[in-house]
Structure 1
Amino acid sequence: MAKRDYYEVLGLAKNATDDDIKKAYRKLAMKYHPDRNQGEGAKKAEESFKEVKEAYEMLSDGDKRAAYDQYGHAGVDPNAGGFRPGGPGAEGFGGFAEAFGDIFGDVFGGGRRGGGGQQVYRGADLSYAMEITLEEAAKGKESQIRIPSWDECETCHGSGAKPGTSAKTCTSCNGSGTVHMRQGFFSVQQTCPHCRGTGKIIPEPCTTCHGQGKVKKNKTLEVKIPAGINEGMRIRSAGNGEPGTNGGPAGDLYIEIRIKQHDIFERDGDDLHCTVPVGLTTACLGGSLEVPTLGGKAEIELPEGTQHGKTFRLRGKGIKGIRSSYPGDLYCHIAVETPVKLTEHQRKLLKELDESLSKSDKHSPNAKSWTHRVKDLFK
């Protein structure tokens, strides 16, 4: 049976935000969760839950969502050479705490269990805004960025306790990091409020790291910007987000691209636009005109009598986008400039030109047509 559209599964439009996707997943996952569906409807609820979870895994990942939006299910099907999803439903229903993760938090166990019985949480994702020029966006570049990082505290060697002391087992949760509460038919597991899930209490915290066992430092990352990247696109750097709790995996770093305003060009997808000022004489007489491109220069031939607003298209002089097979085009918009601060001699010449042109019916057909229409209007 053919798969349903992921947006349809979550009941969302294609322009849904990340928050919309998360809220829809939370609502539907709670609805089809096996703890809430027993008896005859359990099998159908299980299938619906897997479907909802697969849709969320695809649409909550920026790269996978982009591939799905462009190519549909083929873009994220591992057998079709697309992105490989993280095995939707692969962990089975014994791994619900991992499946819900940050969505359900403490309600169903929050994180997974570490070797010592403590809850393990994935670190938060980080966002970094990188500003680049239009030329860098077109050609790509390699750059270095400095981001905050965490290193083991050299004073306490990661224990969080003041040298000469040690952490004690939390008496509230007996070292498990969680406490249980019963609410109606549900047994709710929550993070221990005293040890915050670590299972330990530090009577005398380390004065260097204040009991965290780690200190914040900066680290340098090499970032490769692909050629053709556009405004608002994100680059994912796996594992360079905030560190996890109790040995949990680190989050990811998302580098969001912002392109500086260019002095000459405006970008529209893969196409470029620019305004080319042309003198009145050149517009009247025509001739060759040199125009800039991102890669250098090009020439366009102005026909005699070129009008203001005329657009010339230079094929292949735009930008080759990340997913494009061919580069876009450059559109040159002509702006005829009227001369200012004329001398008396220049004024006299223009008046003579105007008198000469007024005797011809061909020098300004648009103006004559407009004049006749105005006269007809007031008859």
Structure 2
Amino acid sequence: MGVDYYNILKVNRNASDDDLRKAYRRLAMIWHPDKNPGPKKHEAEAKFKQISEAYDVLSDLQKRQIYDLYGEEALKSGQVPPPPRSGPHHFRTQPHPNPSFRFNPRDADDIYAELFGGSSSESNGRARGTRDGFFRSTGADFSGTSTGTRPGTTPRKAPPVENELQCSLEDLYKGAEKKMKISRTILDYYGTLRSMEEILTIEIKPGWKKGTKITFLEKGNQEPGVIPADLVFVVDEKPHAVFVRDGNDLIVSKEISLLEALTGKTLEVTTLDRRNLMIPLTEIVKPGYEVVVPNEGMPISKEPRRKGNLRIKIDVRYPARLSEAQKSELRRVLART
């Protein structure tokens, strides 16, 4: 017989029209190309076409009759054997198919649009125009039943679910990869709700700021009649022991003695990527003094080759007490300035 259409749709040979529709809907959900991007897309396209062809044949009375009696080859070639001669000892249990029958397969997208609502062109346009177009355009769920929306309308989508994503300042400076384990409810092959775990990979880009959102489309819980929620991770920045971030700038505080403030000093700063910067102080340091080192702050996410500034705030440490001799010496020295 060649291709076994009954096996493709996973129905028995006595399947009713309703059985065929339910089987097609269930399998079309799983193998629609828009729900299988990446490496599985070609396999999904072939499966989807096969499922559609099986439904096309078995849901058409004449096609199904020829297929049941003579198989796929006769169906597609149109070479239907002539009716047997009637005689006193011959009884025909089924009517003979029309010998002039020609097999005209229907388009897979037309079948899909017919069962899920909307025209073929509408369904294709929406599905291919959005990243999450399959659920948006069909209004269907994994149980193989309609969501109850009118043809051509968009089913309700669950509100997004937000989760905090803790990142160190080093993560946001250098970039990082984080693995997030999630647990969610899905509708399986048979339309039954079950729990599954999944690992999501988040690529932290250098320069991302607190409040940056990373969205995984439709990774929330599935339920009949509702488009799953988007899963959103919101970046939060952990406090750092040395640096404070101010936009694209990094601020670090350094304390020096009064003598160093007056006579000079070379400051050493270890950056977030473990480089040592040597910054000389050659001027007299006054209250509120700040040294600005260009291009040593945080990376600018939209301009990868640029960084903000490193700002070094200087705090002068005064002596707790001075002896009379020290005071006298200071008066002598400073009186000349």
TM-score by length of 1: 0.46
Aligned counterparts of 1:347 and 1:306: Cα–Cα separation in 2: 24
Is the counterpart of residue 356 in structure 1 residue 332 in structure 2?
yes
Distance 1:271 1:249, change over 3 A: same
Look up the equivalent residue of 1:219 and give its one-letter code: E
Is the counterpart of residue 303 in structure 1 residue 282 in structure 2?
yes
Among candidates 264, 275, 289, match of residue 286 of structure 1: 264
Aligned counterparts of 2:190 and 2:319: Cα–Cα separation in 1: 74
Aligned counterparts of 2:139 and 2:200: Cα–Cα separation in 1: 31
Distance 1:118 1:231, change over 3 A: closer
Look up the equivalent residue of 1:135 and give its one-letter code: E
8 Å CA contact retained: 2:186, 2:221: no
Look up the equivalent residue of 1:129 and give its one-letter code: E
Matches within 5 A, 1:332-347: 332-340=312-320, 342=321, 347=323
Look up the equivalent residue of 1:143 and give its one-letter code: K
Deviation of 1:312 (Å)? 1.0
Look up the equivalent residue of 1:272 and give its one-letter code: L
Matches within 5 A, 1:136-175: 136-152=171-187, 158=190
Listed one character per residue, the Cα deviations across residues 212-257 of structure 1 (whole Å, up to 9, x for unaligned) are x3234443222111111101110112231232524x5433211100
Distance 1:347 1:271, change over 3 A: same
Look up the equivalent residue of 1:353 and give its one-letter code: E
8 Å CA contact retained: 2:186, 2:222: no
Aligned counterparts of 1:129 and 1:245: Cα–Cα separation in 2: 28
Matches within 5 A, 1:78-97: none
Look up the equivalent residue of 1:131 and give its one-letter code: Q
Aligned to 2:168: 133
Aligned counterparts of 1:267 and 1:292: Cα–Cα separation in 2: 15
Look up the equivalent residue of 2:268 and give its one-letter code: E
Aligned counterparts of 1:112 and 1:132: Cα–Cα separation in 2: 38
TM-score by length of 2: 0.51
How many residues end up aligned between the 2 structures?
A: 198
Among candidates 248, 251, 266, match of residue 273 of structure 1: 251
Aligned counterparts of 1:264 and 1:141: Cα–Cα separation in 2: 20
Distance 1:215 1:356, change over 3 A: same
Distance 1:215 1:122, change over 3 A: same
Larger radius of gyration: 2
Matches within 5 A, 1:62-81: none
Provide structure 2 residue ranges, at least 5 long, that are not aligned to the other structure: 1-118, 127-135, 149-154
Look up the equivalent residue of 1:359 and give its one-letter code: A
8 Å CA contact retained: 1:316, 1:330: yes
Look up the equivalent residue of 2:282 and give its one-letter code: P
Aligned counterparts of 1:122 and 1:259: Cα–Cα separation in 2: 30
8 Å CA contact retained: 2:187, 2:223: no
Is the counterpart of residue 260 in structure 1 residue 233 in structure 2?
no
Distance 1:245 1:122, change over 3 A: farther
Look up the equivalent residue of 2:185 and give its one-letter code: W
Deviation of 1:152 (Å)? 5.0
RMSD: 3.3
Look up the equivalent residue of 1:352 and give its one-letter code: S
8 Å CA contact retained: 1:123, 1:245: no
Look up the equivalent residue of 1:118 and give its one-letter code: T
Q: Percent identity?
A: 22
Matches within 5 A, 1:220-239: 220-239=199-218
Aligned to 1:327: 307
Aligned counterparts of 1:285 and 1:262: Cα–Cα separation in 2: 31
Aligned counterparts of 2:242 and 2:203: Cα–Cα separation in 1: 26
Deviation of 1:139 (Å)? 0.9
Aligned counterparts of 2:269 and 2:193: Cα–Cα separation in 1: 57
Aligned counterparts of 1:152 and 1:348: Cα–Cα separation in 2: 85
Distance 1:269 1:151, change over 3 A: same
Aligned counterparts of 2:253 and 2:289: Cα–Cα separation in 1: 10
